[in-house]
């Protein structure tokens, strides 16, 4: 049985799974290869983001279901 290491090189969706490099993965989420404090390659989960604003958008709490871009022309 082969040992599987952490995908230090990130995601590789350009090749079939048997042909990809052993330091990549076809799928991952919220992962980073290096610890930012110790500057060490050990793999781990990305920390969550803090809220930028404390007020609730739209009044009542609920999930965001759509985001769009608006351009104002004067």
Residue 18 lies in a domain: yes
Residue 42 lies in a domain: yes
* pTM (2 d.p.): 0.46
Residue 24 lies in a domain: yes
> What is the tally of structural domains in the chain?
1
Domain that holds residue 10: 1-46
Q: How confident is the model over 2-60, as pLDDT tens digits?
A: 677 778 888 888 888 788 888 888 888 877 777 767 777 777 777 777 777 677 766 77
Residue 16 lies in a domain: yes
Q: What integer pLDDT is reported at residue 1 of this predicted model?
A: 60
Residue 13 lies in a domain: yes
More confident residue, 71 or 59: 71
Secondary structure of the chain as H, E, C letters: CCCCCCCCCCECCCCCHHHCCCCCECCCCCEEEEECCCCEEEEEECCCCCCCCCCCCCCCCCCCCCCCCCCCCC
């Amino acid at each position: 049985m082969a040992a599987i290491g952490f995908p230090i090189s990130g995601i590789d969706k350009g090749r079939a799974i048997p042909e990809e490099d052993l330091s990549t993965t076809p799928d991952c989420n919220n992962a980073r290869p290096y610890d930012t404090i110790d500057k060490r390659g050990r793999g781990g989960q990305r920390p969550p983001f803090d809220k930028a604003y404390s007020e609730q958008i739209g009044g009542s709490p609920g999930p965001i279901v759509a985001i769009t871009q608006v351009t104002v022309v004067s």
